[in-house]
Each structure stands twice: as C-alpha cells, then as structure tokens.
Structure 1
Amino acid sequence: MRNLFFMCFLFITLKTMAQKTPFEISGKTETATYNQAITFYENLAKTYPQAKLITYGNTDFGKPLHLLVLSKDKNFDPAAIRKSNKRILLINNGIHPGEPEGIDASMMLARDLLKAEQLPKDVVVCIIPVYNIDGSFNRTGTSRANQNGPVAYGFRGNSKNLDLNRDFIKTDSKNSAAFQLIFNTWQPEIFVDTHTSNGADYQYVMTLIPTQKDKLNPILSSYLTKTLVPDLYSGMEKKGYPMIPYVNAFGEIPETGIAGFIESPRYSTGYTTLHNTIGFMPETHMLKSYDLRVDATYKLLQTYIDVVQRDAKIIGENKCKADEFVAVQKEFPLAWKLNKSVENDLPFKGFESGKKPSAVSGTDRLFYDRNKPFTKIIEEWNNYEPAISIKKPIAYIIPKAWDKVITLLKLNNVKIEELKSDSKISVESYYITDFKTATRPYEGHYLHSAVTVNPVQNALQYYAGDFVVYVNQKTNRFIVETLEPQATDSYFNWNFFDSILDMKEHYSAYVFEDTAAELLKNHPELKNKLDAKKAADADFAKNGAAQLDFVYKNSDYYEKTHNRYPVARLVTDVKLDLK
C-alpha cells in the first residue's frame, strides 16, 4: 500500500513538474532552450485539444518554424477562423534570442490559459515559440554585456549572422520567408514582437513601441491611440507595471526628451504596418531582474488578450475598413520626417544622473544613482510627416527575370497576373539619376538611400510570362513601398537591382572620336546641347574625355537600359493581353 501511495505521489509530482517551464524550475533565473520550448509545446498540444503545434517552411539552421495555435473551439483553419469573425493575435518570440522574456512568458501563459480553461472566445492566439532558432543555439551568458540575466541566453545574429529584425523586406534568411508564410497565412489583426531594451536607466520594467501612429492607416491609428494604447497602459498600471514609451532619447539622458520610434518595413512592426496589422514591440528594461522582466511580459501579453477579446468586433471592422481604404488609396508616403515643432509633456520616472571619473580611463563617465529616483515632465516628439510621397500607377510591370521580387510579392498575398503574349507597352520608366550608397555593409548589403529618379515615357518590349501587378488590392502599401525605388526599404535600396547600374558596353576613345565628330556634324541639336553644357560648366569645358562621354551618352550607341529601373509603371489604363 505504501509503495502504491509513493508511486501515485511520484506520478503526480512528475506530471506537475512536466507542466512547469525551465524558467520556473530554475527559480526564475534561466530561460528555456529551443528544444525545451518545443518539447513543452508538444506536450501541451498532446494534453489539450484546444492547442495545436504546426510547422512552417524552414530556417537557415535547418529546422522549421513552429507555431502554437490556441483555439477555444478547436478550429485551426485560418480561413475558417476569419470566416467565423474571430480575431487573430500573433505573438513572436526570440527574434533576438538574447532577449528571451517572451519565450518564457508565452510558455507559461499558454499553459495557464489551457489549464484554467480561460482561452478567449473570439480570439485565436498564435505563438511563435522561438523565431531565431539559429541564434538560440549560440548560447552564452556574456553576449549582452549590459543585461541583468538570465544565466544563459541566445545570440542576436542568426547562423548567417543576420539580425532578423532587419530582414523583413530583403528576406536574406529562410527564417524571414517562413515568418512571412505564417503571417500571410494567418493574417493577424494584432501582432506583438517581444524584446529587451538597451539604453538609459530608469524606473520602468516595461516600455512600449506601438506601430508609429502617423504611418498606420488613419482608421487603425484612431483606435490605436484613443483606445488600445491607453487601455494597455491602464491595464499594466493596475497589474503593478506602469509603462512608458520606448526611451528613444535625443541626448545622453532621457531628460533631453524622447522621440517616437519610426519603424521602416525592415523591422517586424514596420513590415506588419504594410498589411494593416497593428504591431507592438514591448521592450523590458535590461537592468531589471529577469524574473520581473518575464512577469511584466506575461502580464502584458495577458492584457493584449483581454483587450482584443473585449474589442474583437471593432478590431475586425477596423481592419476590413482599412483594407478597403488602401485598395483605392491614390497617394502613398515613401519616407518620413519628424516634426520637431510639435511636442507633448510626458511624466517620466527616472533616476538622477551625473558624471564621475572612469576607473578605466580617468575621464568623466555617465552614471545613474538609483538612490535618487525622480518623477519629471520631459518632452516627447511623436509626430511624423511624409518626406516623399507618390501617386500610385495603375499597375507595375516586372520582367520575369526578376524572380526574387515575384517570389516575395506572392509570399505577401499580392495578386499577380502574367502577359499572355509578347507586347510593346507604353509605360513610365524611372531612370536612376542619383543615390547614395553606404560605405560599409549593413546586414550583408551596401544599402542605397537618397534616391532620385527621372520618369520617362516610352514604349518597351515585354514578353509572354512577364508579370503585371495592379495596384488595386489591399496589399497596395506593400506593393508600393517595395517597388518604388525612393521608398526607405525598397527592393532597389536593398540592392535587388544593382546590375542595372553597370554599363555593359563602352567605346575605345580613339575610334569613337571620329564617330562623335560625325554625330555632331549630322545632328546640330546634339552640338547645341554639347555647347550649352560647356557654357554652363567650366570644368566640363576643359575636359575632353567628359565631352566625348557626353556625346556617347546622348547618342543611339549608348545602351538604353543603363540606370533604367526595370520595374515600369503603367499610367495609362490600356487593355493588356493577360493569361
């Protein structure tokens, strides 16, 4: 009898332990490894029919991306879920595996919702356990030198040493392609990407970056600023974790004021904005103890679920209206600038700062005195305005040679059609007239910026199988901000089209001198153009090689494709012969 009692006690103890996370078992000092997290979710899915663990695509590490889906009515078909008018909340963890609070918080939250039978009725919760699987295996306790725990954690870069939170447009990693497959299959209304901050010291455990309100569709922005963000703040205040906007300080310390974060589409929440999904990056404070950071993340995720369940109907209606608005939107911003003339007061709980001699160099160094907390009013600048805008064309035409572009557009649910036969089509082509290029590589690219273009009307030859993308769909923002070269994170700026910037043919000067003389003799308009250039530019007038090159580039000998951006704009509504 005693043995039977002992065996039952042991079974119950093991079952209870099996439901605990490595974070809890360690006394809240350790974060789960990738294998521990997946095993934990596999066991949840086996135990509870309301949970399903699904794999998508692949990663650079050779493992698929997992998605845990929590559905109260056991419906795991995303199309059917949308038809049943339920909302989808997507939580992404471990994009930077050295910032693992979300990994542990999500494990506990999923278990607690299932165990207590508290899954929301109108919200399906989707959790990516660990996005940067590669980096999670590169585990140390030293790579984040400023961070207070956990004992060991993953590394920011993936196995290609890419920061995956810069890869949502260029998609150099398989991880990014797998994420986009998940995102565009499930089409969440709300997205949360869990992080840990760097920077100043202050009293808050949790800071928050919402999708930049001015970049977001106005229908969504109104709900975000008037309802969602205020209710997240009040909910967290009640749970013991007052929040502040992410401390993006203008100077060395927060008292100099903070600016709202502007996320371009390379970032996760900038990417989700292109799809009319409201995104958030919660950032716990690196210097707070790990147990507090996990607890704050747990309570914030809990708050998201409560608010999305409460507002499920209006969130769904807003998303539909925003998609309809974008489908007929005519003008699109491509880049943004901060309006520093508009500011607002923000109560801020910080610590007094000062300077003292460095024990390393002897020079003055910054320090914060945690024995001197304060609450002060600081300035916040959070109004952004378009720096560049364009009117959309009727369609973009993309030659089939540019297959990576087509693959990524399709991955993002962009509807694409194909020409049925060879056709000469009147289009507007951009000639790239100027741009700047970084002098050092950034995330594997020499990124372009400050692009200027010269639009030219011409008739170009296209061929059967070339692609046509009409800008009359809910993915219009994604289409425009990737295909317009002046957009901050356009495919052009990420070097997708750099081969067009090279000349493939040239001339031998001693031969072309005679040809150029003949051209000037037979084409007086060209001679007048050359003379005008010489009169306007003294250096040019002294440079014989430059003048010869000018004649060449203004003649039929010069290749017409040099610097011609290959994605053309259809600006006249003509009937195309489509498959």
Structure 2
Amino acid sequence: MKSTLTALFICIIFCSAKAQLTPFELSKDKNYTATYSEIIAYYQKLSAHYPQMRLLNIGMTDVGKPLTLVVLSRDKVFDPALIKKQNKRVLLINNGIHPGEPEGIDASMMLTRDLLKKNALPKDVVICLIAVYNIDGCLNRGLSRINQNGPRAYGFRGNYRNLDLNRDFIKADSRNALAFEKILNTWNPEVFLDNHTSDGADYQYVMTLIETQKDKQNPILAAYTSKTLSPELYKRMKTSGYEMTPYVESEETSPDSGIVSFLETPRFATGFTAQHNIISYITETHMLKAFDKRVYATYDFMQHLIDIVQRDAKQIGQVKHDADEQVKQQKTFALNWELDEQHYDTLVFKGFYAGHKTSEVSGLPRLYYDRSKPYTKTIKYFDNYKASATIDKPLAYVIPQAWGKVIDLFKLNNVAMKQLAHDTTLDLQLYYIGDYKTPQRPYEGHYLHSNVKLNPVDLKVKFYAGDYVVYTNQALNRYIVETLEPQGVDSFFAWNFFDSVLGEKEYFSDYVFEDVAADLLKKDPDLKKKLEDEKLKDPKLAASASAQLYFVYRNSTYFEKTYLRYPVGRLLTDTKLDLK
C-alpha cells in the first residue's frame, strides 16, 4: 500500500512538472513552435497558478483578437503608475512581430515559467512580455521562409492586411500598432527588446544583436549602452555558450569584407522606441542554426538582460530621467542619416570562408559558404553615422484639427497638446513643398516620399478654435520633430499623411481666362517680363499656349495660396495665445 502511494505521488509530481512544459519542450526533436491557441492556453494555465503573473488583453489587432500582455511582478503590483512611484524599472519584450521568426515566443514561455517556478523574479524590475504581436500572421501557419532551418511550421510575415508590422510603427496603419503604442505609453518601459531571426550571410554565431545606433541614440543613453550594458551582454552571452556578434546585414558579399551597423529608423520597433528615449535592442538569431539552439540562445539573452537591468536598475532610471530632461532642452534634431564610410571600427569575427562556383540553376557564378573552413579574423565594422539633414525646433507647432490621424497618434503617444480657445490669426513660418521624389510602386501600402525640398515662408495664417498647439519643451521632442518636419525620413509627410495638399483644387477655362490673362499682362509689366524671360529659357513653354496661360495664372492673385503649403505651422517667437 505504501509503495502504491509513493508511486502515485511520484506520478502526480511528474505529471505536474510535465504539464508546465511548453509545446517546444514537449516535441521530441525540439523543432516545433507553439501555435497561437497553445501560446494563450499555456499562459492562462501559468497565470492560474502564480499570483505574481497577470494576463492583460490590450486593444485589438487586425484579425480581431486582442494583444495579450504577460506582466510579471514580484510584489504583485500591476498598476503602471504605482510601479513608477515605487521607482521600479519596466522591461518590455516583444515576440512574434514576424511569426516565421518565433524563437522569442517559445523562449519567453519557458522563461516566464522558470522565473515564477524558481521564485526568481527581479526585485526592482517589472517584466512585460507581448506573447505574440502579429497574431494575424501566427494564425497563417505554414512554410514561407525557405532559407530558414526550422521549425517544422510557423506563421507568416505579413499580418491580416498583409502589412509588415515591423515597418508600421510610425504610421500605425494596423490596429496591432495602435495596441502596441497603447502598451508602450501606459507602461513606459526604460528598456525594450524585440526578438527576431536573421537572414543573409552564413557565419558561426547563433545570436547576433542590433542595438540602437549610437550616433542616432540620445548621447546620455548611448554612453550607458555602449560602455556598460552592451559589453556586459556580449560578455555574459559568451560565458553561457552563445557568443554574439553585431547583426550581419550582408547577402551578396561575404561579411569578412566588413559589416554595416543597422540603422533602425522610426518605422521599425526599436527606431520608434528610441524616439521615446527607451534603451532598445533587437535579437537576431541565425536562420541556418538549429531551431532549438536559437530558442535557447534567445532564452539566455533575455535572462542576462533581466539580470543586468536589475543590477543597474537605479542607474537606468537616472539615465532615462537625464535623457528626458536633455531632450526637453535640445534645440537641433537630426531628420535623416547617412553612413560615414571614412571612419570605422574593427571587430573579431568568426565566419566561414566564402567562394563562388557555377550555379546548377543559371550556369552563372553563385556565392556559397564552406562550413568546413571556419575562420576568425579582424574585420571592418562600419558603425558610424552622420546627420544628413537637421532642423532647429520651433517654439511650438500649430496643427489644424482637420488632420485627425496626426492628433490621434499624438494623443496615443502622450504628447502634451493645448487647443486654441478662439479663432486666431498667427504669425508663423510655414513650408511650401518645393520638390519630392515618390516611387512608382507602393511600399507597405504607401508611396513613400523622399528627397523633400522645402521653401519656408513667414505668413499670417488663420487658425480656428480647437486647433492644436504643441510646445517643444517635452521629453517626446524627438517624436514630435521627426514626425512633423517633412524632411524626416519617417515623417508623417513622408508616409503620405498630408498628400491632399499636393493637389490643386481650382483651375480655369482657357477661353475665359485668355482675356483675363491678357489684361493681367497689360497691367503688370513685371509679370509680362517674367513670362517672356521664361519663354526664352524654356522652348516647351514658348510653344504651348496652355502652358503660358497656366504660368500667368500661377503667378496671379487668383492662384490658390494653399497649394503645396504644408499645413503644420512653426511658431518661432514667444506669442501669448488664448488656449483652452
């Protein structure tokens, strides 16, 4: 009887332990990633057992399901405001933005269980994990990443609207992005991690890392990350058996010729979070390594990051505070960046010798890597960028309330705004769009503008009660300036938010305007001379009656003053405004 009870007790313990194993761990070959329903069911079971864990459904995604946020709090405090009052740090981890890169999903499930089971949650850090961000793509399960070594099946890169969600943060076309921004601006993390899988070159490392580009990052945060946090992560990952290297963005040539630091602009998750002065990382496990190694490497990285954030909790809080204060006072902002090819660092890189052989498909030379010939050598690392466009911030921006999506996104991101109490005529600097380039094919649902040329003009412009005034004395100045300045690489203008100002709304009938134009030329000798000068310079204009009529029209008082006028005004002088 006693032996039977003992066996039963052992069986109960075994079954209980097995019940907490993830679908990845339960698979015999460790080449399986959990489905969406398995992910949610697993976290629900854990949450029922551990009061230090809470599941929150945030917003809604394009596929009609809410984002599930896993919150781990040692003190069982789940109020973001109270957590900040207690001077605790918040670490936000995002998983499955590309569901075909699912290591973070499975690693986070295991790590959550282990932290709870071992009573190992950090004292001064609350951990928030997005279980799977691109639920839409996770449900669209199959085989789509042909270059990747496992798992057996996985989700699709695009979401239900076929958007790449890691290009959607600044424009927020998807409801997924709106839910993410609600999470970000509710929990206000000091540190953010986005888990991914690489593609491209072959090399010896299981894990590569993208950190916010140091020249683009706030200098206070850059000093801490580049001198303290990142070196410690590299050191600990090497000790745990998963030595890292910076992300290798090289497909056509072998990385031994040098690698370039990835520049994550605000369309990307970490480029967006950097605008909020958040220390940000992207893990990129190597697509050709076995799936189980990629999962365990991601697990180790997250554990090391948690441990270091706990160790440096006070320092991280201070540098975040100092960065916010500095950005409030910052005057000049970079709007675009270019690689500095003249200056580079070096790093020791472990790769495979590459060569070329005849393709069996095309009969032409093709690149290949020889894994029987590993090497360790010092290579160039191009990790310096310089600003290619800058702007001095105005005292404030004035945004007409008509541009609702801009206002909605600013509210979602906790930008402080005031509204005009009455109709008011203001002396402002406004831009006329002089030129811009637009591709013939769309990119992520937009015809993205670039190479924007501006003609600034000082004007008196009437604004209306309820229009918004955004003062640039905020910790979110980077987000404000980089979105509202049209030359910004990921500005709202670049993403077509203001395209309606690029079209004329009034015109003329040629036969009617002929007499008016003739009268204008008689009364205005300067206009007549200007037309004649242009005809001498432009034979096409000289040969076209309609073009000459349009020239007169455009240079007359009849021409619409709002055509090509960017509607957001720059308030440059301290002006007393009657605000609500």
| TM-score, normalised by the number of residues in structure 2 | 0.97
1:377 maps to: 378
Q: 1:43 aligns with which of 18, 42, 45?
A: 45
1:353-432 matched pairs, under 5 angstroms: 353-432=354-433
Q: CA RMSD in A?
A: 1.4
| Residues 1:102 and 2:88 aligned together | no
* Residue identity opposite 2:97 in structure 1: I
**Distance in 2, Cα, partners of 1:316 & 1:534:** 65
Match of 1:134 in 2: 136
Q: CA deviation at 1:40?
A: 1.3
**Cα deviations by residue, 1:375-421 (Å, 9 ceiling, x for unpaired):** 11111111111100001111111111111110001111101111111
Amino acid at match of 1:44: L
Counterpart residue number, 2:465: 464
Distance 2:13 2:461 in 1: 74
Aligned residues of 2:340 and 2:384 also touching (Cα < 8 A): yes
- State how far apart, in whole Å, the 1-side matches of 2:37 and 2:12 are: 23
Alignment of 1:121-270 (within 5 A): 121-140=123-142, 142-249=143-250, 252-270=253-271
Aligned identity (percent) is 60
In structure 2, C-alpha distance between the alignment counterparts of 1:10 and 1:231, rounded to whole Å: 42
Indicate conservation of the 8 Å contact 2:192/2:279, yes or no: yes
Cα distance in 2 for residues equivalent to 1:5 and 1:348 = 55
Report SS of the residue matched to 1:336.
strand
Deviates more, 1:396-405 or 1:153-162: 396-405
Distance 2:4 2:68 in 1: 41
Give the equivalent residue in structure 2 for 1:495: 496
Shift in Å, 1:278: 1.0
Counterparts of 1:21 and 1:508, CA distance in 2 = 72
Q: Secondary structure at the match of 2:265?
A: coil
Contact 1:95 1:130 in 2 (8 A): yes
1: CA distance, partners of 2:127 / 2:184: 13
Q: Name the SS of the counterpart of 2:469 in structure 1.
A: strand
Task: Tell me what 1:438 maps to.
Answer: 439
Structure 2 residue aligned with 1:573: 574
Give, in angstroms, the shift of residue 333 of structure 1: 0.5
Q: Which residue of 1 aligns with 2:276?
A: 275
Counterparts of 1:57-96 in structure 2, within 5 Å, are 57-96=59-98
Query: What amino acid sits opposite 2:90 in the alignment?
Result: I
Separation in structure 2 between the aligned mates of residue 7 and residue 163 of structure 1, nearest angstrom: 51
Q: Do the aligned partners of 1:250 and 1:258 also contact (CA within 8 Å) in 2?
A: no
Displacement of 1:231 in angstroms is: 0.6
Secondary structure, aligned partner of 1:194: strand
Instruction: Name the SS for the 1:405 alignment partner.
Output: helix
Find the counterpart in structure 2 of residue 302 from structure 1: 303
Q: Which residue of 2 aligns with 1:352?
A: 353
User: For 1:145-200, what per-residue CA distance to the aligned partner results, in whole angstroms no more than 9, with x for missing partners?
Assistant: 01111111100000000000000011110000000000011111110000000000
Larger mean Cα displacement after TM superposition, 432-441 or 1-10? 1-10
1:562 maps to a residue whose letter is Y
2: CA distance between counterparts of 1:138 and 1:7? 42
Q: 1:73 is matched by which residue type in structure 2?
A: D
Deviation at 1:105, TM superposition (A): 0.5
Partner of 1:555: 556
Q: Per-residue deviation at 1:536?
A: 4.3
Distance, in Å, in 1 between the alignment partners of 2:224 and 2:17 is: 42
Cα distance in structure 2, aligned partners of 1:528 and 1:574:
41
**SS at the partner of 1:425?**
strand
Given that 1:250 and 1:256 are in contact with CA atoms closer than 8 Å, whether structure 2 keeps it comes out as no
Code of the residue aligned with 1:92 in structure 2: it is N
2:336 alignment partner in structure 1? 335
Check whether the contact 1:189–1:316 (CA below 8 A) recurs between aligned residues.
yes
The runs of 5 or more residues in structure 2 that have no matched partner are: none
Q: Across the two proteins, how many residue pairs are aligned to each other?
A: 578
Paired position in structure 1 for 2:508 = 507
SS of the residue corresponding to residue 456 of structure 1 reads: strand
Whole-angstrom CA distance in 2 between matches of 1:92 and 1:493: 26
Q: How high is the TM-score relative to the length of structure 1?
A: 0.98
- Give the SS at the match of 2:430: strand
Shift of the alpha carbon at 1:542? 4.0
In 2, Cα distance between the equivalents of 1:251 and 1:382?
A: 19
In structure 1, C-alpha distance between the alignment counterparts of 2:97 and 2:91, rounded to whole Å: 17
Distance 2:12 2:152 in 1: 30
Mapped to 1, the partners of 2:165 and 2:336 lie a distance apart of 22
- Following superposition, the deviation at residue 545 of structure 1 comes to 2.8
Quote the residue 1:546 is aligned against. 547
1:410-465 per-residue CA deviation (whole Å, 9 max, x = no partner) reads 11110111111111111111111100001111111111111111111111111111
For residues 384 and 106 of structure 1, the distance between their equivalents in structure 2, rounded to whole angstroms, comes to: 33
Task: Map Cα deviations across residues 233-263 of structure 1 (whole Å, 9 max, x no partner).
Answer: 0010100111111012385111221111111
Alpha-carbon contact 2:353-2:373 (below 8 Å) kept: yes
Shift of 1:116: 0.6
Contact 1:251 1:257 in 2 (8 A): no
Q: Distance in 1 between matches of 2:84 and 2:532?
A: 66
Aligned to 2:32: 30
1:448-459 → structure 2 map (5 Å cutoff): 448-459=449-460
The alpha carbon displacement at 1:538 in A equals: 4.7
State the SS of the aligned residue for 2:90.
strand
CA distance in 1, matches of 2:16, 2:520: 89
